[in-house]
């Protein structure tokens, strides 16, 4: 709704909140409103549709919901209750049986369901100056992509106030649902979605997508009982319905994941890995060609929080994603990422093991994918890849346990690993297989598989060498007496260790039963 549109005499019927005003004044081609319960989403959509019909003569405006009962209980019910007939020329202009409202200026407002994915083709060839979708995360990206191609208006270039006419789509929803990921990508993170083709990715313009978040506290008309219920909900519902978090939603697999406590700055992650050089470092890889190949670098580190909480953790400190890259080229790309810069110049890190997706070892031609990759690694001095653990259900459950805060999780991730951080909250539960993550055939799935291989295949921790512990303890001594006492303590520990008695393992006779 351009600024001049507020001169319509609708103020006595609709008093928008500050967030609703921001939504109506947006000039973005695609707008997302809401993100939490109780923010006035349906009201905002209906009044945006009304104002568009009033200011643009002879236009078509479409309000959609997945099913008719949902539409009837939502936008259509609101329209009947709160939009006075005088704004559209009287009751005679609203056909309640066909759910169509015709305005005196020739504009038409349509209320329509779109229950099945193929139902979007019912709108093929139609012309709409605006399409508004209520609870839009119930729609797939394919549906959204098709519908936005129906935005057309050829009658005139200016509205009745002389403003340029912008064809647009408005979406209103809460986090969660089948469309959660593409909403988060396009509107929240402002990045292309996995299912977009190369041409669409190349033309992606993040300035066309605007997210106006509205929380329950932004709605002055929300009753106190509803507000209290949202505030007192369980943690997951509180996060997604009251705070509008796009990292927590219904059906999410890793509900114990917390970006705030599990992600650490890249410079800290790299410092921990380089300082604790005795710890094993390994790589987990999900190999693909048409799909993405994803490699993740991991190590064990002893981590201490600013609050003084210290524990050994698994640290994912590097990631690499490529698509449509041959085996030998992929091997070389991974090897190049094993080189890091130091004050003394480039240095190749020591990789203890590489775990590769198990299907890479299947014999489908003269050489397996694993054999070709291992040939490429040979000249770089990397160890040959071995099959990763392929048990999906136990792997996902294991990852979920690693992410649980106790109060510090057993898995930390460098903030340089953007794809991993984005993929974790998007894992959805498989309703058909208990404990499994739902297959999606997207980049998210490739990244999650690589994370599962990395963490489940290799978990043993090496104790900090005694000489390193001694040097660390001596560095905290403030005088000579403390240093002498510390050195004697470590010497005594070594002496006690050397005097330890070794017991031979008893050999029991085999059972005769």
Q: Which domains does the chain possess?
A: 3-242 (3.40.50.300), 259-457 (3.30.420.280), 466-492 (no CATH)
Q: Which of 247, 249, 232, 214 is nearest to 37 (CA)?
A: 214
Q: What is the largest CA-CA distance in the chain?
A: 100
The DSSP symbol for 283 reads E
pLDDT, residue 339, reads 82
Sign of the Cα torsion 236, 239, 240, 241 reads positive
Rounded Cα distance between 23 and 71, Å, is: 21
Closest CA to 455 of 384, 392, 402: 402
Q: Which two tokens stand for residue 233?
A: 């909900």
Query: Which tens digit of pLDDT belongs to each residue from 157-216?
Result: 899 989 999 999 999 998 877 788 899 899 998 999 878 888 888 999 999 999 998 877
DSSP state of 212: E
pLDDT digit string, tens, across residues 482-503: 677 666 665 665 655 544 444 4
Predicted confidence (pLDDT) per residue in 290-301, tens digit: 888 999 999 999
Q: Dump pLDDT digits (tens) for 357-412.
A: 988 898 877 888 999 999 888 888 889 999 998 889 999 999 999 998 878 899 99
Residue from 370, 380, 392 nearest 350 by CA: 380
Helix, strand and coil in the chain, % to nearest 5: 40, 20, 40
386 DSSP 8-state letter = E
Burial status of residue 143 (CB atoms within 10 A of its CB: 0-12, 13-18, 19 or more): buried
Burial 427-451 (b: 16+ CB within 10 A, else e): bbbbeeeeebbeebebbbbbbbbbb
- The pLDDT tens digits for 44-81 are 999 999 999 999 999 999 999 999 999 999 999 999 99
User: Residue 53: CB partners within 8 Å, gap ≥ 6?
Assistant: 59, 61, 88, 101, 103, 105, 107, 108, 109
């Amino acid at each position: 709704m351009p600024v001049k549109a507020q001169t319509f005499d609708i103020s006595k019927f609709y008093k928008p909140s500050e967030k609703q005003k921001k939504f109506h004044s947006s000039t973005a081609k695609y707008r997302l409103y809401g993100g939490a319960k109780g923010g006035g989403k349906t009201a905002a959509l209906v009044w945006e549709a009304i104002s568009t019909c009033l200011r643009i003569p002879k236009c078509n405006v479409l309000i959609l919901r997945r099913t008719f009962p949902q539409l009837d209980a939502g936008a259509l019910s609101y329209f009947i209750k709160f939009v006075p007939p005088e704004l559209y020329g009287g009751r005679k202009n609203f056909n309640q049986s066909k759910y169509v409202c015709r305005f005196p200026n020739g504009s038409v407002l349509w209320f329509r369901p779109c229950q099945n994915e193929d139902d979007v083709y019912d709108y093929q060839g139609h012309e709409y100056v605006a399409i508004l979708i209520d609870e839009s995360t119930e729609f797939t990206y394919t549906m959204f992509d098709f519908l936005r191609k129906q935005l057309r208006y050829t009658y005139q270039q200016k509205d009745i106030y002389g403003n340029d006419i912008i064809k647009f789509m408005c979406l209103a929803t809460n986090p969660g649902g089948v469309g959660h990921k593409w909403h988060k990508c396009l509107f929240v993170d402002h990045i292309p979605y996995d299912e977009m083709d190369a041409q669409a990715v190349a033309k992606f313009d993040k300035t066309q997508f605007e997210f106006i978040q509205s929380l329950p506290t932004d709605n002055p008309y929300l009753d106190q009982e509803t507000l209290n219920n949202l505030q007192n909900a369980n943690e997951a519902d509180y996060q997604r319905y009251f705070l509008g978090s796009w990292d927590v939603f219904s059906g999410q697999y890793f509900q114990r994941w917390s970006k705030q406590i599990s992600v650490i700055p890249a410079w800290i992650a790299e410092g921990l890995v380089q300082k604790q050089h005795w710890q094993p470092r390994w790589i987990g890889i999900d190999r693909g060609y048409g799909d993405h190949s994803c490699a993740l670098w991991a190590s064990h580190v002893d981590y201490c929080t600013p609050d003084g909480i210290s524990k050994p953790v698994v640290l994912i400190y590097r990631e690499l994603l490529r698509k449509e890259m041959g085996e030998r080229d992929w091997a070389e790309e991974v090897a190049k990422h094993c080189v890091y810069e130091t004050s003394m110049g480039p240095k190749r890190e020591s990789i203890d093991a590489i775990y590769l997706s198990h299907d890479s070892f299947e014999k489908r031609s003269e050489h397996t994918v694993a054999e070709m990759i291992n040939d490429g690694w040979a000249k770089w001095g990397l160890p040959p890849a071995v099959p990763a653990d392929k048990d999906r259900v136990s792997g996902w459950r294991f990852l979920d346990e690693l992410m649980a805060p106790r109060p510090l999780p057993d898995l930390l991730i460098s903030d340089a690993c953007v794809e991993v951080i984005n993929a974790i909250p998007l894992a959805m539960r498989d309703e058909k297989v208990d404990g499994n993550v739902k297959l999606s055939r997207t980049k998210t799935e490739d990244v999650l598989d690589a994370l599962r291989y990395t963490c489940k295949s290799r978990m043993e921790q090496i104790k900090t060498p005694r000489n390193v512990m001694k040097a660390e303890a001596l560095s905290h001594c403030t005088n000579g007496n403390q240093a002498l006492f510390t050195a004697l303590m470590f010497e005594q520990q070594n002496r006690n260790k050397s005097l330890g008695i070794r017991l031979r393992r008893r050999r029991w006779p085999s059972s005769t039963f």
